[in-house]
Amino acid sequence: MADPYESLADELAVRDLLVAISMEADVGDLDVYGALYAEDAVVVSPGGTSEGREAIVAANAARRSAGITGPGTGARHHVVPGRVTLDGDRATVRSYFAFYTKVEGATQLTVIGEYADEARRDSTGWKLTRRVCTFD
């Protein structure tokens, strides 16, 4: 019989992974952000597809260079991790998100949507392996 405390710990670790990705994307270090993804991770969004950790970090760096996200922009991802489904060393999660930006000093809701995420546990912990982002 599976240890219910281990399942709870895994679920919390996966939820923490999603929160960490959002926080590092908004105001954190891009090396730390990249380390939260598996080497072979894929992110699919309305803006395009990034395949591999390096491409995912490069896409975030481009958004920072454009002033869309990053320290000092006031941009924030608010993620509500939904249902986490665990299967051994793999997990799937569906989450809602809201993305806020600053316009002329005022915070405004820019977009809402949903993440369909997949994660895998490796020797260092849980890593995101796939994210499909859709806008509502």
DSSP string, 10-21: HHHHHHHHHHHH
CA distance 76 to 97: 10
Q: Who wins on pLDDT, 9 or 3?
A: 9
Q: Domain range spanning residue 9?
A: 4-135
Q: Write out pLDDT tens, residues 8-28.
A: 999 999 999 999 999 999 999
Q: How far apart are CA 90 and CA 99, in angstroms?
A: 27
Does residue 81 surpass a pLDDT of 80? no
Determine if the pTM surpasses 0.85.
Answer: yes
Degrees (nearest 5) of the Cα angle 127, 132, 136?
A: 135
Considering its fold, how many domains does the chain have in total? 1
Q: Give the pLDDT confidence of 101-119 residue by residue, as tens digits.
A: 998 889 999 999 999 999 9
pLDDT of 128 higher than 80: yes
- Residue where the block lists tokens 């390096």: 54
E strand or H helix at 27, and its extent?
helix 4-27
Comparing C-alpha atoms, which of 69, 59, 64 is closest to residue 131?
A: 59
pLDDT above 60: residue 7: yes
- Could you tell me if 64 and 41 are in contact, meaning their C-beta atoms sit under 8 angstroms apart? no
Tell me the CATH number at 131: 3.10.450.50
Give me the phi and psi of 10, to 5 degrees please. Answer: -65, -45
